Amino acid sequence: MLRKVASATVVVVALLVLAGCSTAPRDVATVNGEPISFLDYCALLQIQRGSQGMPIGEAVLHDLIRQKLIVQEAKRLKVYPTSEQIVSEMQAALASGAAVTAFRGLTEVQIRDLFIIPELAYRNLILRQAKLAVKNWGQELRQFFETNRRQFDLPERARVLLIAVPDEKDAQDALQLSRSQSPEAVVSTVMGPDSPFTRPMLIARDGTAPQLRPVAEAVFKTPAGSWTPIVRLDRPVNFTQTIRAQFFLAYVLERLPSVTADLANPETRSQVEMAFASTKVPRNYIDEMLQRKLRNVEVHVIPESLKSVEMAYVSQSPVPHQH
């Protein structure tokens, strides 16, 4: 398994070099005078792939420019995410096994700035537009909730420490270690001390990907404070970018019962508001807003290898840009 991880690391490093990350100016670009840091650009390269037909570096920079414009628009319209929103969303992300795996290699600050804040800004813009379109927001929101209440109920969940390995012997070794070591120590030894698997993950009984349902079934048959049996999938799955696993083992930290949705709950209300807003705002609302902003955006790209990105925005702008 270590050889596979090392090979994947070589591929990532090669991509970073090709995309211009072998050198490190302070910023990779500015958007309307606001910088996009080179560290953020290079970090995002590690977890994204370029669009088909476009070099990975250019694709990532285009994404970051659009992301910056969404955040700038949220600031302009005074719907920039609140500190409470950011903290709540960060906690949820770091408790999610899928999110922790997807964000592997990023610092918490990068997760916040590259994913949490832009996503919240996007939602807040949608929500603002919906509230402008709905005269009796509170009343219609309540009606929508009552009609769709069941989709907001929380299923039974479990917080677990997970082990995912390609060979059955690795899983058997983990079980052997569990007789003398704490669950945290076992996961750290088998998966690595810097692995995202060392953080608890939240598994929902009804929300697991089909190929991983046998793992969820084992978890919900196991009481809190115990290890599941070894779960063998029919075929290996790409569980992360560097781990292809067929054998799973989980330590159940806590079992959480299903919860009936309550609109008075802030988390539930936020989910209901976004679902309701999506029925009132055209699907292309953000895309059209971005198109308007992109016609007048001032983009300055620093690395010569990415200057084509700057030229793409200059060519579609009716206003000459001074750099």
- CATH code, domain carrying 168: 3.10.50.40
302-314 pLDDT, tens digit each: 888 888 888 887 6
Classify residue 293: in a domain, yes or no.
yes
Number of domain units in the chain: 2
Taking the model in full, what pTM does it have? 0.73
Verify that 176 and 114 share a domain, yes or no. Answer: no
Verify that 182 and 88 share a domain, yes or no. Answer: no
Classify residue 268: in a domain, yes or no.
no
Verify that 86 and 182 share a domain, yes or no. Answer: no
Per-residue H/E/C for 221-278: CCCCCEECCCEEEEEEEECCCCCEEEEEEEEEEEEECCECCCCCCHHHHHHHHHHHHC
Verify that 284 and 241 share a domain, yes or no. Answer: no
Is 240 within 8 Å of 192 (Cβ atoms)?
Answer: no
Verify that 252 and 284 share a domain, yes or no. Answer: no
Write down the pLDDT at residue 5.
31
Write down the pLDDT at residue 58.
87
Classify residue 52: in a domain, yes or no.
yes
Comparing C-alpha atoms, which of 284, 216, 206 is closest to residue 250? 216
Verify that 180 and 122 share a domain, yes or no. Answer: no
Verify that 102 and 17 share a domain, yes or no. Answer: yes
Verify that 122 and 178 share a domain, yes or no. Answer: no
199-241 pLDDT, tens digit each: 888 888 876 678 889 999 999 999 999 999 999 999 888 766 5
Verify that 7 and 130 share a domain, yes or no. Answer: yes
Classify residue 269: in a domain, yes or no.
no
Parent domain of 302? 2-134+280-316
Verify that 80 and 165 share a domain, yes or no. Answer: no
Write down the pLDDT at residue 107.
85
How many whole angstroms separate alpha carbon 59 and alpha carbon 61? 5
Classify residue 42: in a domain, yes or no.
yes
Q: Which residues of the chain have pLDDT under 50?
A: 1-19, 50-53, 318-323
Comparing C-alpha atoms, which of 176, 150, 180 is closest to residue 163? 176
> Helix (H, G, I), strand (E, B), or coil: what is residue 159?
strand
Verify that 65 and 121 share a domain, yes or no. Answer: yes
- CATH code, domain carrying 24: 1.10.4030
Eight-class DSSP state of 154: B
